[in-house]
Amino acid sequence: MNTPTPRSAASHAAATQAPYSSRLRYESARIHAAAIYCSDGRLGEHFDDFLQQGLSLPRYDRVTLPGGPACLAGHPQAVLEEEGVVDELKFLVEVHKLKRIVLIAHTSCAFYTARLELKEPRLELVQRADLVRAAAYVHRVTGLNTIEAYFARVMEGHVQFEPVEV
């Protein structure tokens, strides 16, 4: 008897589907910049729009995780993330020859509300102070001098990116 190998519906669908070909052109030149921001999917396109159009950084390298630069501000609740992100940054500086790093925090970030249990108005003050701490830390571990920070403010139906002095 020939028993067929069990297969999940998902893998079967993937095997029978035609490959998807992206219509976006691939450009191999690197821009030597990276951005660290929260992985919150509701803001992904806004971060892209700001970095690509607002700061003129097409093809920037993305370092995303819940809370983004919050893990570089010395919170004991994020030591594992800190180790991982520092390692990634050092790699990108060495291999992708990064010259510039952009840090972005955003309104009501769940990392702050859930993991650090913070509420407004203190939440935003802590986020802004964290951007300053994270920038100093990134400078220390990468040796880069061009580090900038922004606060993404979610306002009725749109997102505004405000520079933060770091």
Stretch that binds Zn ion, among 20-28, 40-48, 121-129, 145-153 (CB under 5 A): 40-48
Q: Which residue, 138 or 152, is less far from Zn ion as judged by CB?
A: 152
Q: Does 40 bind Zn ion (CB under 5 A)?
A: yes
Binding flag, residue 31, Zn ion (CB under 5 A): no
Please, which residue, 43 or 93, has the CB nearer to Zn ion? 43
The stretch among 32-40, 71-79, 80-88, 121-129 that binds Zn ion (CB under 5 A) is 32-40
Does 104 contact Zn ion by CB under 5 A? no
Q: Of residues 92, 109, 149, 164, which one binds Zn ion by CB under 5 A?
A: 109
Identity at 131, one-letter amino acid code? L
Examine residue 38 and tell whether it contacts Zn ion (CB under 5 A): yes
Residue 103 is a binding residue for Zn ion (CB under 5 A): no
Instruction: Write out the residues near Zn ion by the rule CB under 5 A.
Output: 38, 40, 109
